[in-house]
Amino acid sequence: MRRAALLLALALVLTSGACQCQRQAPAALPPPPPTQSLRVGFAGCAAVIGGPVCELPGDRRLRLWVELPARVALAVSAGGARLPVEEREAPGGRACTFVVPAGATEVVLEVALPGGPAVWRLPVRETEPVPLLQRATALRMEGKADEAARLLREEAPALPDVARARARSLLARVELSLGHSEEAVALLRETLKLHRDAQRRSDETSDAMVLTYTLIHHGRRFTEAREVLGALGPLEGSHPEGSAHVAYHEGLLALESGDPGTALRHFTEAALLAERLGIGRMQRAVQQVLATTLQSLGRDAESLALLEVLRAETGDSDCEKADLLTNIGWGLLLAREAGGPPRGEPEPPLEEALALYRGVCASPDDEANVLVNLALAELHAGRAEAAAARLREARRARPEPGARLALWWLDLEGRILLAAGHARQARHRFARLAELAEASASPEARWRAAFGRARAAEQLGDVRAALATYAQAEDLLDGEALRVPLMEGRHVFLRERERGSRAYVTLAVKAGHVEEALEVARRARARVLEAVRLSGRVTHLPSAERARWDSALSAYRQEREALDEEAARDWRLSAARLAEVRQARRLREERLRALLEEAFSLLAPASAVSPSRGARARPVPGELWLVYYPAPRGWVGFAADDRGVTARFLEPVSPGAPPATLAATLLEPFHAELAAARRVTLVPYGVLRAVDFHALPFNGDALVAGRPVAYALDLARSESRLAGAGARERTALIVADPEGNLPQAREEARRVDEALRGDWRVQMLSGPAATGAGVRAALERAELFHYAGHGRFAGLGGWESTMPLHEGRLLVGDVLALRRVPSWVVLSGCETVRAAQDSPVEGLELAQAFLAAGAQGAVAAWREVDDAHAMELMRALYREGGPGTSTELPDALRRAQLELRASRPESDWAAFRALVP
């Protein structure tokens, strides 16, 4: 299990700011040239007041970040003297550190720019010490929190207004350390107003951060936390250091309220601001929680790379290092647990962390956590006896485990017994796990119990029972377990559980149940896509629905935590007593389910149907479906037509292999089926998404030369969504060159307009007219959408992939948030269907988002495309009036690609793909 990342909201005193820069012209050159503005941020103040004024810290050291071109000289002066500065490169500019001399009342930054000078000024003043605060802080640091609280309560009323407000702020923090969260919340609400009235911007921000953290983690009061953050207003001009902390806490709030995509964006922003302003401790904390968020999204490579950078930069804090080492070890384990490529050995960082938790950072809870992780590492290495020994050590370190830890231990015990060949004993352990899971209403443990029983049955040779129990585990994932982990790492939850799907598929194929295996493979892939779709819907909830979501999710989290606490000692109970407890808690479980249903009802219609239910596409006569799914080694390939399904185990292959190798591995095993097919629909998985199947060699030419080829999203659709996808008025929306830098795109749009005018009512939004709001509104009225402009694959895992608009952009989440989408979508821009090529996790790209929201077909590019070649391809695509049905679209693209290949052999004609639901 992961060690929680260090959260700084309760520890840091926040200070910061930003400003304008001007510089006076030399006296010898009258008249002076006009001054120029610069973006400047400052940090290190003991407090920031008003407009802003910086109260100096004890060491008098301040830090500046300036947005400057490379090699431009800057100078800092104070008290009439130029100061020595320590300079460094920082993101987007330069940073410097200096010491303010005694008696100075102002810091002056001067920069000579090519277009004229710039000067920026920051008033400074000495900090007046408050002896009471110094004494109370010393008591708190000595572990005498009760004495500190008593001192503050008794003596604070006699202080002047500002000092009294600061004393009340300190008292709030002491109350929190004593576990008095409600008293702390009341104090912080009081001090926020006092600091605001006194214009003490940094104190107000600091208390807002502590209050936000408390509301998030003590009571799950998400709506109140949002209100606290929103009340601060913009901080860049008065307190930029506070901007970094606000971004960090916005990320925490998003993460805890089930919105990991937004959390990533906020954490990335916070890390950038912290690096610019030299807030080292905060930067490390943000990067660590960013890394664990990436873990929860299945982004192993990025997460581990970030953790290793942090490991190299960690200072002398042994406990901070122990937490970091635990997260590195867990990240390496997670990659193994989910069946991904090995990223390294988890044992060394975990052993190092264990030594620290047993020594200078003594913590029985953390020691037990690391020992459990080491047991899992031993299990993956095939050392069942060593894993059992580690688990016994964990039990000694934590004799009274919580509910979740007790369930985790039982699962590990069962897995260790399986690894040792004791399937019957393992089955008993998993049956016990099932009893505890039912009593504690834990969907995760229910799944682990079902999966464990299935593995035990398979090891005992009872194929029928194994298949039935694997099916039960899949049903659990399709039901409540799919929903619960939304705020608890849903993507990695599903990816790890996919080892159950893989085992099920493998056994079903070996047993000759190939149709059953194909259905399981499709459902497993669809579950992950559904998770992405739901996350996108959460991100773009309107404010009123967001408040309802927060309220329902908050109530769910509180109820869930109360039930976990109640179930902490269930592991001691007999089976009979557990059954009684289960019956008594039935109302609690129904309450949990109702709260989740209330929250998820806000995501309708997109979440109205589980991936395993609703109308699922089937091959029509003449159509062949090729579905690829990961196997324990290599892949399982399925070829399905209207007459039946065949399946074959395929060798491992990299998407970067030569086309001939890819064709031999992925296509040739189904040569006869492909040769007879009039149309091919592909459902590739994970890294195989990067393969241009349509361009692979087959029968002496490209596969697409002999038949249309489409790539299916393959999500189930409800009857209501299918009914809503019927014919509409033939209205086409063309968006052309929104950024004004692609003349070829404007010409392409003109030609598409000419091709459509006879049969379609066309709305053209070009250049400045293609605003974000205008395009989104027009999309909900259009039947056909053609975009001719840039496409950009960006962000960790592609979260920020976008189609730029004029003064705006269109993201995956924006598409998912539309009430209605066009039936036909043509995205003539680079990388509009690209996914992260090294990711084992499925995702929704820009074009696929339209399909997930209800579109019937799309054309989009996997990679960068040449403007002129794209224009020629689009002219050929629309030669017969544009798309009309999902059958016609792949064939229209096929003809256009073959025409472009013939006229421009050097072109990347295969970059575009036809997509269907």
**What topology is assigned to 401-500+512-600 in CATH?**
1.25.40
**Three-state secondary-structure class, residue 643:** coil
Give the pLDDT band of residue 341 (cuts 50, 70, 90).
low
* 3-state secondary structure string across 248-311: HHHHHHHHHCCCHHHHHHHHHHHHHHHHHHCCHHHHHHHHHHHHHHHHHCCCHHHHHHHHHHHH
Q: What are the pLDDT digits (tens) for 521-543?
A: 998 888 877 777 777 778 778 88
pLDDT of residue 2: 58
CATH class given for the domain over 623-706: alpha beta
- Bigger pLDDT: 775 vs 294: 775
> Scanning the structure block, which residue is given the tokens 């379609």?
760
> Scanning the structure block, which residue is given the tokens 């066309």?
762
Lowest mean pLDDT among 490-494, 591-595, 605-609, 616-620: 605-609
Whole-number Å distance between alpha carbons of 888 and 872: 19
pLDDT(481) > 80: no
pLDDT(813) > 80: no
Q: Quick one: DSSP state of residue 776?
A: H
Give the pLDDT band of residue 795 (cuts 50, 70, 90).
low
Whole-number Å distance between alpha carbons of 687 and 690: 6
pLDDT of residue 887: 57
Whole-number Å distance between alpha carbons of 845 and 851: 10
Question: E strands of 749-895, at which residues?
Answer: 761-766, 784-788, 802-805, 808-811, 824-828, 857-861
Whole-number Å distance between alpha carbons of 487 and 262: 12
Q: Where are the domains of the chain?
A: 17-125, 151-232, 401-500+512-600, 623-706, 725-916
Cα end-to-end distance, the chain, whole Å = 37
Mean pLDDT of 241-262: 90
> Scanning the structure block, which residue is given the tokens 């997460």?
303
Q: What are the pLDDT digits (tens) for 703-730?
A: 999 999 999 988 876 544 443 444 557 8
Lowest mean pLDDT among 212-226, 250-264, 888-902: 250-264
pLDDT(802) > 60: yes
Q: Cα dist. 914→433, 571, 642, 682, 772 in Å?
A: 47, 54, 21, 10, 26
Q: What are the pLDDT digits (tens) for 731-753?
A: 999 998 888 877 888 888 888 89
**What topology is assigned to 725-916 in CATH?**
Rossmann fold (3.40.50)
pLDDT of residue 458: 97
Kindly report whether the peptide bond that precedes residue 619 is cis, defined as omega within 30 degrees of 0: no
What strands, in cross-sheet order, belong to the sheet with 17-19?
17-19, 40-43, 61-66, 93-99, 86-90
* 3-state secondary structure string across 797-833: HHCCCEEEEECEEEEHHHHHHCCCCCCEEEEECCCCC
- Give me the helices (H) in 511-650, please: 514-539, 543-566, 575-584, 586-601
pTM over 0.95? The answer is no
Lowest mean pLDDT among 94-98, 171-175, 193-197, 530-534: 530-534
pLDDT of residue 841: 52
pLDDT of residue 901: 93
Q: What are the pLDDT digits (tens) for 379-408?
A: 999 999 999 999 999 999 988 888 888 888
What percent of the chain stands above pLDDT 70?
87
pLDDT of residue 7: 37
Mean confidence (pLDDT) of the chain:
84
Mean pLDDT of 840-850: 71
CATH of 151-232, one of 1.10.10, 1.10.3470, 3.90.1460, 1.25.40: 1.25.40
Q: What is the CA radius of gyration of the chain?
A: 30
pLDDT(22) > 50: no
Q: What are the pLDDT digits (tens) for 182-191?
A: 999 999 999 9
pLDDT of residue 740: 81
pLDDT of residue 144: 94
Are 151-232 and 623-706 the same fold in CATH?
no
Q: Which of 288, 813, 257, 220 is nearest to 488 (CA)?
A: 257
**What topology is assigned to 17-125 in CATH?**
Immunoglobulin-like (2.60.40)
